[in-house]
Chain A
Amino acid sequence: MSIRFESVSKSFGTKKILDDVSFEVTRGEVLFILGKSGMGKSVTLKHIIGVFAPDAGKVFVDQYEVSAMTSGARMDDLTLVRQRCGMVFQHPALLDSLTNFENIAFGLRSKQYSQKIGRKLSEEEIRDVVLEKLSLVYLEPEILQLYPHEVSYGVQKRVSMARTLAPGPEYLLFDEPTTGLDPLSTSSINALISELSRKLKVTSIIVSHDMACALSIADQIMFLDQGKILLMAPPKEVISSAIPLVQDFFKETMELLPPDWSLEK
């Protein structure tokens, strides 16, 4: 059970975003993808759920070759893969026309989810799951009847996480989950991701700029630069890396960390 990239390349126009990228994330691992903006981090995530197809190379989620499913007859297989993956987007990406409750419950009402669990959930069961996921992201039930535009951006992000968690994904993909949040919300979302990864023991891939969070909760940290993997290693090795970009990231992070901080993983 893993997510595997084999020599994946992707260009948009003349710009090469991913250049012969290969890596593997095994079950239960937490991988952080770090790098400067525009280096292909989000594009990497979107290859996993088949939003983008590689120009060359292969992407596997478990036994499924996602890169071969993005069109034609194998779209049904892609649905199976997408069922296994939950993605928290850079933006909350909630459906504006639905209440927060309906947004979280959306995946639970789908035909695919009913097929997965072998039956249709009753309205009471859906409500129970929604409330359970809501408590996981530390939100109160009062926000459920509100529409996304009636709550703050931070709450929208949490609702988005609850929606992602609701159908019980085996893989969690986070695309810059703390972008646009104030420092307090950022640290609370980071704590949440860390807790979810440990509590739910799901395989997580997190695209972020937050090295401090990566050092605290990642099993592996991958640096992407100019479309290539600069380094993929556990946090301890990342700290001692001599690669200039990695050192720069680490130096910036150390300035933000408390003086008594140490790596405890």
Chain B
Amino acid sequence: MGMGIFDRHLRTLYLAGYLMKRLVQQLAKGPHRKIEIMDQMEIIGIGSLPIITIATGFTGLVMTSEIAWHMDFALSNVSMIPGFTGQFVVRELGIAVPALLMVSKVGASLTAELASMRITEQLDAFKLLKIDVISYHIFPRWAACTVATVCLTLISIAITIIIAMLTAVTKYHFNSQEYFNTLAQFINSWDLVCAVTKSAIFGTVIPPIACAYAMKCEGGAQGVGQATTDAVVTCTLAVITLDFILTAIFSAVL
């Protein structure tokens, strides 16, 4: 049974790899389905903005308080708050948190939608109508998810840093100018390039994995639920694993 489950996941990941190949090919050759991508940008990007704003705002608040408390406790000095929070946000938290939120919001929704289409035979109808589900349905969502993840990551970084700055100003008596001056010494444009690259890769891998689980979905509502759970778990693991690998690569390059 264990081997059966392992084999099923392996086959699904193989399908995810095939989907990724087809999506990249379509990106190179077209059709680019700009109108559908714009529609999906609105659904995925604008639709995810409130949750990203709230979640990263609170993350900034908690992170600054925690870092400050530990600095104060261990060093009796909080002057490094801007540098520590800035690096932590731009290199890690501001990228991983939006990516994981995209997994739970967008990845789950992509799997549930496509899996429902599969069990209600819409995908068979696609075949009969000569509609390529990858080109027609998945590609616009993939492109929109990639762009939206990058944009949301940048927004998330900005929000987290602003909240961190406000916390530092109100609780630890920094002034904002001083905060940003110290921050600028610790982060540079290369950090932002790494953040954009990481978020683009996260945004790129979520839809193929989510859609592969949907396309392998079997049974009724229970099958859709199982596919969605599997997709969210696998996408989360993929994001965390890739985060580790990319961080190691960027650290080596730096």
Q: What is A's interface to B at a CB cutoff of 8 Å? A: 46, 49-51, 79, 82, 85-87, 89-96, 106-107, 110, 112, 175
Contacts and interface: CB of A to CB of B under 8 A. Distances in A.
A90 B130 CA distance: 19
B129 A51 contact: no
Contacts of B131: 106
B124 interface: yes
Interface residues of B, number: 11
B125 A82 contact: no
B127 A82 contact: yes
B188 interface: no
B127 A51 contact: yes
A27 B122 CA distance: 28
B7 interface: no
The 10 tightest CB contacts between A and B, nearest first, are: A93-B125, A91-B120, A89-B121, A93-B121, A93-B122, A91-B121, A51-B124, A82-B128, A87-B128, A112-B130
Given A91-B121, A93-B120, A95-B122, A49 B129 contact: no
Interface in B121-145: 121-122, 124-125, 127-131
A89 B120 CA distance: 9
Contacts of B122: 91, 93-96
A49 B129 CA distance: 11
B129 A89 contact: no
B121 A85 contact: no
Interface in B93-133: 117, 120-122, 124-125, 127-131
A87 B124 CA distance: 10
Contacts of B121: 89-91, 93, 175
B114 to A, nearest CB: 11
A96 B130 CA distance: 17
